[in-house]
Amino acid sequence: MILIADGGSTKADWILLDKSGEQLLKTRTGGLNPAVSSEDLMLKRIQENEDLSKYKDKITNVYFYGAGCGTEKPTLLLKSVFESFFINALVEVKEDTYAATYAVTTEPGIVCILGTGSNSSYFDGTDVINGVPSLGFILMDEASGNYFGKRLIRDYYYKRMPKKSAKKFETQFDLEADTIKRNIYKENNPNTYLANFAEFIFRNERNSYSDKVLEKGINVFFKTRILTYKEVKTVPVHFVGSIAFFAKDIIEKVAKKYNVQLGKIVRRPIDGLIEYHREKLKLEQV
């Protein structure tokens, strides 16, 4: 049995396949980002899932693709968590850019992630190449959920948010300063907390204010994470993630502005990952 997972800071989707590629299980846990979550918290989130616990001793391979796995130290931390739980499995942990790539293309292209966090990479047809290492939600993550969440909170407090939108914002979130500061500076996963505020844009009817917020953030992402690739004029640019999916119209507008060839826009990469690993299983059995 092989276990495949696409994980972010908010959630992780898990798929269990038998040796013939048939799906046995689909489940979900809380986010498993080793860059922002403790070892104990990540292990607890896995242990609490009854589906994973039921099969954990029978799984032979774990393939995890996740946010926060772009550098060695957090990758090894998460790998050790999985090895302590899936005791009979070989574990492979890769950055979420690989999952995004496998989900949208087998040909050269630029692949972008716009979810709780954001990232981009160039796929040459064989290897995934990161143009700029991600430094996380404080310094980078342009056009991500937490990026837009921060923008909304600042606009509300600086009274730049239109009055009608501000009243709706107040009814949907706890905007007490002490609550916000506690969640950002003292609780686990502040990036996920901030990203929750971005739901305001998509939960409510879009308007000129929300479109302006989206367009500005996506413009910044194009400038910093797409136009910097020399291949940008010759290959398509694909997007994966919930922010990308719901802001498709804005992405199309900005891509046209920069004369960028737009490829696929996919909300969740897990379906593409399943097909990728099914093909791998077929090749291994030949």
What's the whole-model pTM score? Answer: 0.82
Alpha helices (runs of H) in the chain, residue ranges in sequence order: 39-47, 50-55, 72-85, 96-104, 136-139, 145-157, 163-172, 177-185, 190-203, 208-225, 242-246, 248-257, 270-285
Domains detected in the chain: 2-98+269-285 (3.30.420.40), 102-266 (3.30.420.40)
Q: What pLDDT, on a 0 to 100 scale, did the predictor assign at position 283?
A: 72
Given a contact cutoff of 8 angstroms between Cβ atoms, the answer to whether 104 and 111 are in contact is yes
**One pLDDT digit (tens) per residue for the chain, 286 residues:** 999 999 888 889 999 999 889 999 999 999 999 988 899 999 999 999 999 999 999 999 999 999 888 889 999 999 999 999 999 999 999 988 898 998 899 899 999 999 989 999 999 999 999 888 788 889 999 999 999 999 999 999 999 999 999 999 999 999 999 999 999 999 988 999 999 999 999 999 999 999 999 999 999 999 999 999 999 999 999 999 999 999 999 999 999 999 999 999 999 888 888 888 888 887 776 5
